[in-house]
Amino acid sequence: MGNASSGGSSRTADPAAARADPSTPEYWRAQGDAHAQARNAAFAASKEAYRRGDHARAGQLSREGKQHAAQCDQAHARAAALVLAQHNAGRGPGELDLHGLRVKEAVAEVEKAIAAARAANPPQQRLVLIVGKGLHSADGIPKLKPAIEGLVRRHNLRVTPGVPNAGCILVEFVKPSERGWVGNVLAWVTRGCVIC
């Protein structure tokens, strides 16, 4: 059958080995998480030093916290880039697999995909966003799917959850006149213009 990493998946038989290999998203997620913990500890220590009146030490710890915050962001950005490359290798411009991304990262990628679809010549008509069912989310409650659906609706695009399967969202780039009355009402509601 081959090894667990031969199929382009970022998951390997040994998670500890993946976290030790800089070519894997797990490595960069672990780095990002470590920097996040160091950031939080530095900011907490800075606050305590300031409370004690040691302003020089508080400033030093605050700078350390900011440095860890920047390193955290860089590590998670590298992890996201690796995840996207792995999950979208061989996919056409009409599909985007967002599995393994955090909500903030996925939102940024969908914004880019929408802009690219609108700028394409001829304009792209459809986009399938693969968001999953939330099985790997805390308590099995999806975070990615509702966030992406809301984002796409704010762009006044037609959104059909569950197409072509339950873990996907179909986005259609249609003119306002093609959205139908339901689409127009939803666009109106999302702009906050409802008078009750």
Q: How many domains does the chain have?
A: 2
Domain's final residue, options 49, 69, 86? 86
* Same domain for 118 and 67: no
Domain membership flag for residue 3: no
% of residues, the chain, pLDDT over 90: 67
* Same domain for 57 and 35: yes
**Token digits of residue 138:** 């805390």
* Same domain for 60 and 121: no
Domain membership flag for residue 7: no
Residue numbers in the chain where pLDDT is lower than 70 = 1-13, 176-196
- 3-class secondary structure for 32-83? HHHHHHHHHHHHHHHHHHHHHCCHHHHHHHHHHHHHHHHHHHHHHHHHHHHH
Q: Please state, as a whole number, how many other Cβ atoms lie within 10 Å of the Cβ of residue 132.
A: 17
Domain membership flag for residue 154: yes
**Token digits of residue 81:** 């880039």
* Same domain for 53 and 143: no
Note down the domain range covering 78. Answer: 15-86
* Same domain for 46 and 81: yes
Domain membership flag for residue 137: yes
**What are the distances in angstroms from CA 45 to CA 31, 36, 56, 98, 160?**
21, 14, 12, 36, 48
* Same domain for 111 and 61: no
Express each pLDDT in 138-162 by its tens digit.
888 889 999 999 999 999 899 999 9
Domain membership flag for residue 62: yes
* Same domain for 97 and 73: no
pTM here? 0.76
* Same domain for 163 and 111: yes
